[in-house]
Amino acid sequence: MENINFVVEKGDFVGLVGPNGSGKSTLLKIILGLLKPDSGQVKLFNQPISSFKERYKIGYVSQKANSFNSGFPATVYEVVSMGLYGKLGLFTRLSGVDKKKIFDAIEQVGLSKFSQRNIGHLSGGQQQRAFIARAMVSNPSLLILDEPTVGVDTESVERFYQLLGKLHREQNMTLLMVTHDIGMMTDHVTKVACLNKQIHFHGSPRDFEISQKNILNQVYGSHMHPVEHQH
Amino acid sequence: MFQLLIQYEFLRNALLAGMVVGIVCPAIGVFLVVRRLSLMADALSHITLSGLAAGILLQKNLSFFQPINPMYMGMFFSVIGSLFIEQLRKAYRFYQELAIPIILSAGIGLGVVLISIANGFNVDLFSYLFGSVVAITRSDLWTVSIVGLIVLLSIVFLYKELFALSFDEEYAEISGIKKRFVNLVFSILVALTIAISMRIVGILLVSALITLPVAAALRISRSFFHTFWISILFAQLAVLGGMVLSFYLNWAPGGTIVLFAVLILLCVLLTKKRSK
């Protein structure tokens, strides 16, 4: 990647698209601090990343594939509670208030019935919802999602977008989502960004739709055509 | 038997040391097993053997080392070994499990050489290999109890962090958990656990107490918390049952405890099978 000048404003819901190998996941990892850029600076909440300590302000949902061993003996409740550990720090235990937050987060994603169920026994869509609850439970201001709908059935995807929309509107959360699903995404996001080694577009979904063909040619190459979802 | 317990200190020491080990081993074991590192205990126990051999050798040849219990040298080698395992896991990112046979072989190879330099096996070494629970002195018991307490308290204090790192290391790191520090402490805790357990079940069998109760608990538990406590319960049953049985049947205590652990595991496997 080169020449990346990428700013996410507070209150944005950004959909980041690009072909495989374009650097989308890398960009996310750099933003999250897992990787360091060769040159340039990363700022979180206007602070340089090295001095940014309030990690709980960022929620992260990774691609389902890379995360975990599905035989792991943890309940949904235990998985979601992990979202609070970073905030708590060493030597502190979960308080009653914390426990309520966990149940609330589980309820918000519609998994209340499954809170004591083993995470490995849930469907792909349900597991993703549990991971979203984990990302949300610390009440983050910024939610970063890496292709969260991969491997999730269509009905769950629609519900999923509705949930994200709700978080964006009601809790004023800033969202940055990497996705392949250009068609569905443009209905829900406030900004679209296209990445292929460079940022080829960063603007409103309407502008994106107007110049969609040109932009996608630039980003994906002229032989690509988006698949239309008819809803 | 209870009268004998009251009468003979060595039996009390044996039982108490066994119970300490029966708590600490599964507590550490739960995290090792879910991280798919169950063989690490074996690798470290073999390294501990070479540390022990080094300790015995030093005791023989340098008067400075006379009063120092070889067990401490074993612990030291164990800690160094666990650090090496971490480094090897980083070096072999795609074949992380190679770290284990590497350390295991190094440990045994070094141990055998050091033993041969010290001129052959003696009774001391046999007891370290297979456990000598009845030869636990009061000072041994103190060491086992204090180190065991330190390990247990560390696990309790770091439970959340260990759990998060075991489940999803990347997420844990992002959420602000100090990955390096916790993993380092964990490696040291594993090393210490092995060092204190070798007196009871011996080096060759110590990984049994670390993994078998956890294996049994995984079959029946419904949450991680549950797994943690059930493993400890099973380990305690194995230790107590094994010791009592070995006392009456005059069998090697270390081996009997491990067989008891295997028996518990078999029962769990058979019961679960039927209920399905």
Measured CA distances, B131 to B22, B186, B195, B227, B262 (Å): 14, 24, 12, 27, 18
Q: Is A20 on the interface with B (CB under 8 A)?
A: no
Nearest to B176 among A56, A68, A77 (CB): A56
Q: Is A121 on the interface with B (CB under 8 A)?
A: no
Q: What is the mean pLDDT of each run of 10 residues along chain A (231 residues)?
A: 80 85 82 83 81 83 69 89 83 84 89 89 84 88 85 76 84 86 79 81 79 75 60 50
Shortest alpha-carbon distance between residue B210 and chain A (Å) = 17
Report the chain A residue with the minimal C-alpha distance to residue B164. A82
Report the chain B residue with the minimal C-alpha distance to residue A121. B222
Nearest residue to B28 via CA among B181, B207, B202? B207
Shortest alpha-carbon distance between residue A90 and chain B (Å) = 7
Give, for A219, the enclosing helix (H) or strand (E).
helix A212-220
Domain map of chain A by residue range?
13-65+73-220
Q: Does B224 contact A62 at a Cβ distance shorter than 8 Å?
A: no
Measured CA to CA, the distance from residue B109 to residue B111 in angstroms comes to 5
Residues on chain B touching A58 (C-beta within 8 angstroms): 174
Measured CA to CA, the distance from residue A177 to residue A37 in angstroms comes to 20
**Cβ contacts from A onto B, under 8 A:** 85
Question: Which class does domain A13-65+73-220 fall in?
Answer: alpha beta
Q: Does B172 contact A73 at a Cβ distance shorter than 8 Å?
A: no
Full DSSP string of B86-133: HHHHHHTSS-GGGHHHHHHHHHHHHHHHHHHHTTS--HHHHHHHH--G
The whole-angstrom distance between residue B114's C-alpha and the CA centroid of its chain comes to 22
Residues on chain A touching B172 (C-beta within 8 angstroms): 82, 85-86
Nearest to B227 among A58, A73, A116 (CB): A73
| pLDDT tens-digit readout, A204-229 | 887 777 777 777 777 777 666 666 55
Report the chain A residue with the minimal C-alpha distance to residue B171. A60
Nearest to B223 among A53, A73, A87 (CB): A73
Point out the residues of chain B with pLDDT beneath 50: 275-276
Residues on chain B touching A55 (C-beta within 8 angstroms): 174-176
- Paired strand residues for A48: A43
Q: Is A225 on the interface with B (CB under 8 A)?
A: no
- Paired strand residues for A59: A143
| pLDDT tens-digit readout, B167-200 | 888 888 888 888 888 988 998 899 889 888 887 7
B6 phi, psi to nearest 5 deg: -65, -35
Give, for A191, the enclosing helix (H) or strand (E).
strand A191-196
With 0-12 / 13-18 / 19 or more C-beta atoms within 10 angstroms meaning exposed / middle / buried, residue A198 is middle
Measured CA to CA, the distance from residue A177 to residue A148 in angstroms comes to 8
The whole-angstrom distance between residue B202's C-alpha and the CA centroid of its chain comes to 9
Give the pTM.
0.84
> What integer pLDDT is reported at residue B218 of this predicted model?
92
Measured CA to CA, the distance from residue A62 to residue A196 in angstroms comes to 20
Residues on chain A touching B157 (C-beta within 8 angstroms): 90-91
Shortest alpha-carbon distance between residue B140 and chain A (Å) = 30
Shortest alpha-carbon distance between residue B203 and chain A (Å) = 28
- Paired strand residues for A15: A177, A192
Structure tokens at A180: 């392949």
Nearest to B161 among A68, A75, A90 (CB): A90
Q: Please report which residue ranges of chain B form alpha helices under DSSP H.
A: 2-7, 9-34, 40-61, 70-91, 99-117, 123-130, 138-157, 159-167, 169-174, 179-201, 206-220, 224-249, 253-275
Give chain B's domains with CATH numbers: 2-271 (1.10.3470.10)
Q: Does B167 contact A87 at a Cβ distance shorter than 8 Å?
A: no
Nearest to B34 among A58, A72, A85 (CB): A72
Q: Is A3 on the interface with B (CB under 8 A)?
A: no
